[in-house]
Chain A
Amino acid sequence: MTAGSLVYVYAVAREPAATLVTMAGTLTGVAGSPVHLVLRSPALAAVVSPVPERDFHETALRRHLEDLGWLEALARAHHGVIEAFSTHATVLPLRLATVYRDDDRVRAVLHDRQGLFLDRLGRLDGHVELGVKIYVDRGSDTPSEPAPPAASSSDPPLGPGRSYLRHRRAEQDSRNDAERAAERAAERIEATARAHAVERARHRIQEGELATAPGVNVSNDAYLVPAAHADAFRAEALRSTDGLTGVRVDVTGPWAPYSFAGLPEPDPPGSAP
């Protein structure tokens, strides 16, 4: 622990095998600093790295988080460390930007929260998170643009009013079709989830400038799936749009179980595989 530094905590895992200790030594975390483990025998380990206090004290951190470039660097570093560990062990990801004074404070938290951590690690054991997003095609929908004036050569010319209405109707029909297709896909995904997933988390619809994928996002869910079912879940989710037009499904992951690390909801988990 050097002066002017704090301890950034990425995740908690069960007290690890030697390979994890070794791996920690090869990883670079937030702010480019080396990752290490804080052990709390006999049960738990925290994955941590030192971060400069000047950037991570409360005021600075709050200010930095408003800067998208800084936030992205933090998010990617945080994710990189968790991802590396999650390939080898069950990890309980901590909320972004969880920071302590020093390793001893981290050790104390491992001690105080041992029951909670072990309980959640047990729940997540052998599971991965998969993201499933449904998009509806925008199609030719450009609402501000009026219909092209009656230009159809064979039909009797339509007045601009009727032409506009016909255009709007066609637009509306294709939108309704796409929405129905999206609902159908969602039903199929729910059936897939009943067969393979144990929990679902809903994220907010993706909009705004960062939402660059084509189409309109209409659902953005995460599922906790036993690792052995991940491939089947993914394949079935991707097949949910078979025979449907105007709708697209995107599956992301496997992720470390970020969306399922929080407080257990009043379950019971509906259906276990």
Chain B
Amino acid sequence: MNTPDRDPARSGTPLPQRQAALIDLLDRLLSGGVVVTGDVVLSIADIDLVRISLRALIVSISEQNPGPWGAGPAGRTATP
């Protein structure tokens, strides 16, 4: 097994093949994962602060394109 930072595209693993786009990764890592209170406590609100601080990069500061069927905040639903 290769170390993950060594050419993940060639690691021969069945899971993702090429380097994930940072934005797709941040979508998942900043709002996903199970929250267990650690000894160093960054609350969910703090993670939101990351988003606010990097808003220009991660989300648009303009509301110009909400999309035809809207985009709720990240939230989980059973499949339709």
A145 proximal to B (CB < 8 A): no
Contacts of A206 in B (CB 8 A): 23, 27
Chain B nearest CB from A102 CB (Å) reads 9
A-B contact count (CB 8 A): 246
A238 at the interface (CB under 8 A from B): no
If A27-B4, A202-B71, A262-B35 touch, does A79 touch B29 (CB 8 Å cutoff)? yes
Kindly supply a per-residue 1/0 record for chain B positions 29-45, scoring 1 wherever the CB is within 8 Å of any chain A CB and 0 otherwise. Answer: 11111111011111010
Interface residues of B (CB under 8 A from A): 1-5, 8, 13-16, 19-36, 38-42, 44, 46-47, 49-50, 53-62, 65-69, 71-80
Asked whether any CB of chain B lies closer than 8 Å to the CB of A170, the reply is: no
A178 to chain B, nearest CB (A): 9
Residues of A within 8 A of B5 (CB): 28, 76-77, 80
- Label chain B's interface by main secondary structure: loop
Sort chain A's interface into a size bin: 35 or more
A168 at the interface (CB under 8 A from B): no
Q: Contact between B57 and A96 (Cβ–Cβ < 8 Å)?
A: no
Q: Which residue of A lies closest to B64 (CB)?
A: A207
Measured CA separation A13–B61 after assembly (Å): 38
- Let me know if A237 is at the binding interface, CB within 8 A: no
Contact between B54 and A71, CB atoms less than 8 A apart? yes
Asked if A193 meets B80 with Cβ closer than 8 Å, knowing A58-B40, A202-B72, the reply is yes
Between-chain CB contacts (< 8 Å), 10 pairs:
A71-B50, A75-B22, A80-B3, A83-B16, A95-B33, A95-B36, A199-B78, A204-B27, A258-B29, A265-B77
